Amino acid sequence: MIAEKSEELVLNSDLTIHNIEDHRKKILSIIDSAEAVSVNLSRVRSIDISGLQLMLSLFLTLKKIGKSVQCTGEFSEELIEALNMVTFTMKSIDNGRELTEFIKETI
């Protein structure tokens, strides 16, 4: 069995409209070379609708081309609060596994 070439994408700033273009460019730079992407959100403190849209787009794009993606990293209390405001779900999203599941169920 051949191991997947996995890339860790560490986001160093908030997933908000103010930073979205920088994050989009960073994502585009690794999509072609990686078979699997791990998005580390441990340094992200906030997310807004544009950030959620970027994450949904990343998951959908990679799904369409047969690549895997997951969210990782320890989530700050600020990120958890922001996520739970923008996801419009009754279920709390407290970690990468729960965010990954939410996005995969949404797309």
- The parent domain of residue 72 ranges over 6-106
Q: pLDDT for 53-80, tens place per residue?
A: 999 999 999 999 999 999 999 999 999 9
pTM for this structure?
0.89
CATH of the domain at 61: 3.30.750.24
| Residue 13 clears pLDDT 50, i.e. is over it | yes
Count: domains in the chain: 1
Distance CA 99, CA 5 (A): 22
Angle between helices 96-106 and 49-64 (to 10 degrees): 70
- Secondary element (H or E) of residue 36: strand 36-40
Is 1 domain-assigned? no
Residue 33 or 78, more confident: 78
Is 16 domain-assigned? yes
